[in-house]
Structure formats: structure tokens, C-alpha cells
Amino acid sequence: MHFLDQAKIYIRSGTGGPGAVSFRREKYIEYGGPDGGDGGKGGDIVFEAVEGLNTLIDFRYTQHFKAPRGKGGAGSNQTGGGGKDLIIKVPVGTQILSDDKEHVLADFTRAGERRVFLRGGDGGRGNASYKSSTNRAPRQHGTGWPGEEMWVWLRLKLLADAGLVGLPNAGKSTFLNAVTNANAKVGAYPFTTLHPQLGVVRHRNREFVLADIPGLIEGAAEGAGIGDRFLGHVERCRVLLHLVDANAESVADAYRTVRDELDAYGAGLVDKPEVVALSKADTLDEELMDALAAELEAECGSPPLRVSAATGAGTDAVLDAIIAHLRAETHADTPEPGTWSPL
């Protein structure tokens, strides 16, 4: 399945049905009077977040969504049928943005979350509703109120507990495959990962979702390489795992490059808890790894972990550190007994 995390669509709710012009005509009833019913309401545009979707690819081929209009009223004071609501199903984590992408109009973070986005127009009044003491046989009627329409952007931000960041070819996909059920593409060249990947980690009777995004390079915020568009998928992560290739010319520069791009992107990414690890530890001897760890610690301010996804060495320690941060975040979000917390 192709991955697509942005799509522009046109949506329009249904127009209300017209009211009827009708008069009661029955045998032995001399003055029947008006009996035209009201028109039915137009269908609403409804967005619903559903499980099982992790891409917006369906919206590449279907870009116009129009709810049906309401039915017209009829004689005998019969109200027209309402137009059926049009339900648009989107993946969990989808945001709806304005046409200029400046405003977030809706954000779906839970499966089953549903929102009426555009309301259908009300039906027009039938001539029976215009009857008065001075207008006994009205012939006017309402044509129905128009629906609403607009262009919107859909933007998907995958929901994950932890996110993998680092330069291209830092071993992120190899690590993801080693600790989760994912099957990400791995290659001995940069940018083997072209779109975000998700995997479920099961470690020490705990499960969490780990996200891998394409590698960042210097100038990603200005569009270099694949750019920083996929960083939105780690905005919702509670902790970041920063992998630094032990074979880099300078592990300190490699770490600083990614941190600078996170800072340039914004959205609070540089403020998230971070686990730093030297990857591909099996390719270098212990003495050289000690020197690289000291260099990286001087840059990031804490001793980095050492991991080799190929051999599995150090993966338990990295996962333990991630789980510790997730537990700390969970406890921080839980109010103390006796304190008030908004629902």
C-alpha cells in the first residue's frame, strides 16, 4: 500500500429540499386550504476516525465529496425525506486544515471519534406554513437553504509512543526491524526509508508503538534531502530515540545536525525527552567506542547508550530507557489523589 500523509479535498453538504405548494382537495370538503409540506434537510458532511487505516492514499483518487440534498415536500403536509449524511472515514491521527493550511479545524486522536464538519441546509417551508388570517391560500414556498462547501487539507500525523530520529543510514530501520514486527526496507545507502514506518515493541510485559521516519540532513528545514515534512509524525511521540552512527566522521557533529533541524522545525520537538544511543556498536572495538561515547556525551550532556541492532547487543538497555521515560510521562499526566483534574 502506498503511503500518503497529505491530501486536499473538496467537501459540500447537501442543500435543503424545496417546500411544496399544494391544496387539499377532497369530496365534500369545500374549503380544503393549503397542505404543502416542508422540504427535507440536506445531508451533513461527517468525519470519523477509524482503526485499520494508516495512509490517506484513498483521497488521491477521490477528491470531491458531496452529501445528497433533501427531498422536496409533498401534499397532505408531508415533509420531504432528509439527505443521507456522508461519512468520510480517516485514519486516527488525521488533522483537518483550512485551505491555506494556517488553521487546524479538527484533530482526530481516538478511534471512533466522529464530528459533523459541515451541516446540511434546512428544508424550505411548504405553503401550509405561510397560511394566515389574511392569506388563506398562499402560493409561496421556500426553496431550501444551501449547504456549506469548502476545500480542506487532510494531514496525517501517525500516533506513536516513541519516535526514531537520526541522520540517513544511522541504523534506524534496522533497529525498528530488530525490536518490532515491522519489515522496513534496509540498505547500505542513505534514504532507504522514504516514508514513516510503525512497529509494535513488546518488552518486559509492556507494549508501545515505535515510529521511524526518513533521515534528516543539514538544511532539511529548507527542503534539503527529503526535507522535514515527515517530522510531523513524531510530534505526538512522548520520547525520541536519537541514533548516532558510530562510524560517522564526527558523532558530535552528527548529533548536533539533527538537533538543529528539530529546533528549526519547532513544535516542541527539542523539548521532548530523548534517549541517545551510538548505533552499529559491533563494527568498532571497545576502546574506540569509549572515545566516541565520551565525545558524544560532551555534546548531548548525558552518557549515550551503545547498541547493535544487527547482533541485538544493547537493545534491551535502549528499550528499558524508553519505557522509563514513558512511565515518567504517564505518572506526570496522572493527578495526585485529592487534586482536581479536568475531564
Find out whether 191 is annotated in a ligand binding site. Answer: yes
Find out whether 172 is annotated in a ligand binding site. Answer: yes
Find out whether 171 is annotated in a ligand binding site. Answer: yes
Find out whether 166 is annotated in a ligand binding site. Answer: yes
Find out whether 168 is annotated in a ligand binding site. Answer: yes
Find out whether 192 is annotated in a ligand binding site. Answer: yes
Find out whether 254 is annotated in a ligand binding site. Answer: no
Find out whether 310 is annotated in a ligand binding site. Answer: yes
Find out whether 170 is annotated in a ligand binding site. Answer: yes
First-residue to last-residue Cα distance in the chain: 38
Find out whether 212 is annotated in a ligand binding site. Answer: yes
Find out whether 315 is annotated in a ligand binding site. Answer: no
CA 52 to chain centre: 13
- Contact by Cβ (8 Å): 123, 15: no
Residues constituting the chain = 343
Find out whether 338 is annotated in a ligand binding site. Answer: no
Find out whether 147 is annotated in a ligand binding site. Answer: no
Distances (CA, A) of 84 to 37, 68, 244, 310: 19, 6, 54, 54
Find out whether 70 is annotated in a ligand binding site. Answer: no
Find out whether 309 is annotated in a ligand binding site. Answer: yes
Whole-angstrom Cα distance, residue 238 to residue 160? 8
Block residue for cell numbers 512497529: 199
Find out whether 280 is annotated in a ligand binding site. Answer: yes
Find out whether 282 is annotated in a ligand binding site. Answer: yes
Torsion of CA 331, 332, 335, 340, to 10 degrees: -170
Whole-angstrom Cα distance, residue 54 to residue 88? 15
Find out whether 279 is annotated in a ligand binding site. Answer: yes
Block residue for cell numbers 479536568: 342
Find out whether 16 is annotated in a ligand binding site. Answer: no
Nearest to 128 by CA among 238, 232, 24, 257: 24
Whole-angstrom Cα distance, residue 232 to residue 322? 20
Whole-angstrom Cα distance, residue 116 to residue 120? 10
Find out whether 27 is annotated in a ligand binding site. Answer: no
Can you say which residues are annotated as belonging to the binding site for GTP? 166-173, 191-195, 212-215, 279-282, 308-310
Can you say which residues are annotated as belonging to the binding site for Mg(2+)? 173, 193
Can you say which residues are annotated as belonging to the binding site? 166-173, 191-195, 212-215, 279-282, 308-310
